[in-house]
């Protein structure tokens, strides 16, 4: 049973960044306004996500890390509610199967926090009281420890995994409005450094300045458009001729209803249109698509980063038209 569980879990949690993504999304779902991602040895030894969200009530401790347990029901009247991106109770259970999971948590109804240790099946093996502010810390030690081949790959590629994680955290730093994000890394020699720190501004503009810097921001222009009545597109994109000049797509961030997603087709479209103006550089793009969740399917890939619009053809053609205006030679 536990071998099957591990294999399934390995399809939900693919790497360091998909593991951390799940924890950060849980913190956002818990209403946190401050989230710290702490890594030991770039995440190879352990990683933890510390938040000041609502905490977990003691009634939920036993079932917390069991498969398909979720406290997030899907009957929210607001279809664009953030919880749409919750993982249907698979993240904590998968992380238990793939590493050593501990949770510290306290809600406003408790005067003291609880520290829980879980086994690979998601059962509690130790429980003790501790001091902590309201909120939750989820820690994972030795990711992939029981999958020796995967663990070896993980260790070998740790810097690459770390790079991918930083890019994901930049995406959250851009989109998470009113949430302070900090990421620290502690090296094997116990030297701790802050690798990302945001103020938790409410404006995308401020977040872009924090992540990319003011010089970059001045090369961007706002995008604000409505396509097909139902979809609102807004954000910032490079002015003609003012690209990032770096690798393809390394400064392109796309969001659907405020959550980071991969949009290779949109990226390709932007690059293609932009090329007409300047063939050497790639444009920077930070774009959110506000769209009724009915009109998109986020459940296509296990890590929920790929997304499909049900009316993709019309959305893409409207987008093309709007972008061509921005990049046409006689644009003011
Ligand atoms: P899901 O997010 O789909 O509900 P998870 O496995 O990610 O599934 O989490 C299981 C449950 O654990 C959540 O429904 C939530 O009740 C609780 N939980 C996990 N992380 C946190 C957190 N940081 N703060 C509060 N509750 C949390
Ligand atoms: Mg979750």
| Measured distance CA(269)–CA(320) in Å, rounded | 7
Asked whether 15 lines ligand 1 (CB < 6 A), one says no
Q: Is the pLDDT of residue 74 over 70?
A: no
DSSP H or E run through 286: strand 285-290
The answer to whether 141 and 45 are in contact (CB under 8 A) is yes
Question: Per-residue confidence at 278, pLDDT binned at 50, 70, 90?
Answer: low
Most confident of 106-115, 145-154, 196-205: 106-115
**Complex ipTM, two decimals?**
0.99
Q: Is the CB of 98 under 6 A from ligand 1?
A: no
Q: Which ligand is nearest to the CA of 49?
A: 1
Pocket test for ligand 1, best of 92, 93, 124 (most atoms within 8 A of CB): 92
**Rounded average pLDDT over 110-114:** 97
Cα–Cα distance list, 84 to 51, 75, 81, 108 (Å)? 20, 10, 6, 25
DSSP 306: B
Q: Residue 189 in 3-state DSSP?
A: coil
Structure-block tokens of residue 95: 């992380």
With tokens 């949430």, the residue in question is 179
Question: Could you tell me the domains of the chain?
Answer: 2-197 (3.30.565.10), 213-327 (3.30.230.10)
Type and span of the H or E element at 37: strand 34-40
Atom 8 of ligand 1: nearest residue by CA position: 89
pLDDT computed for residue 273 by the predictor = 86
Dihedral sign, Cα of residue 223, residue 227, residue 233, residue 238: negative
Q: Is the CB of 53 under 6 A from ligand 1?
A: yes
Within its chain, how far is the Cα of 73 from the centroid?
Answer: 21
């Amino acid at each position: 049973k536990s071998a099957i569980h591990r294999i399934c879990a390995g399809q939900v949690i693919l790497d360091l960044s998909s593991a951390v993504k799940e924890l950060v999304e849980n913190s956002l779902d818990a209403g946190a306004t401050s989230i710290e991602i702490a890594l030991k040895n770039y995440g190879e030894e352990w990683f933890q996500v510390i938040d000041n969200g609502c905490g977990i009530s003691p009634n939920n401790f036993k079932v917390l890390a069991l498969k398909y347990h979720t406290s997030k029901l899907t009957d929210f009247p607001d279809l664009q509610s953030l919880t749409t991106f919750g993982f249907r109770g698979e993240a904590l259970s998968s992380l238990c199967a793939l590493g050593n999971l501990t949770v510290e948590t306290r809600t406003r109804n408790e005067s003291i926090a609880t520290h829980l240790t879980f086994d690979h099946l998601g059962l509690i093996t130790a429980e003790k009281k501790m001091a902590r502010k309201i909120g939750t810390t989820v820690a994972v030690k030795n990711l992939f420890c029981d999958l020796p081949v995967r663990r070896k790959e993980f260790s070998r590629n740790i810097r690459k995994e770390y790079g991918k994680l930083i890019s994901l955290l930049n995406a959250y730093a851009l989109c998470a409005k009113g949430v302070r994000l900090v990421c620290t890394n502690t090296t094997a020699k116990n030297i701790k450094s802050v690798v990302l720190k945001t103020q938790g501004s409410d404006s995308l503009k401020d977040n872009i300045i924090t992540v990319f810097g003011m010089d970059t921001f001045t090369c961007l222009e706002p995008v604000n458009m409505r396509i097909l009545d139902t979809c609102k597109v807004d954000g910032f994109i490079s002015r003609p001729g003012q690209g990032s000049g770096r690798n393809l797509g390394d400064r392109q961030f796309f969001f659907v209803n405020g959550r980071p997603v991969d949009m290779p087709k949109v990226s390709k479209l932007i690059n293609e249109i932009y090329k007409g103006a300047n063939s050497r550089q790639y444009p920077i793009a930070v774009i959110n698509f506000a769209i009724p969740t009915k009109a998109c399917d986020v459940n296509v890939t296990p890590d929920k980063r790929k997304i499909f619009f049900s009316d993709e053809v019309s959305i893409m053609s409207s987008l093309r038209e709007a972008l061509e205006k921005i990049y046409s030679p006689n644009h003011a």
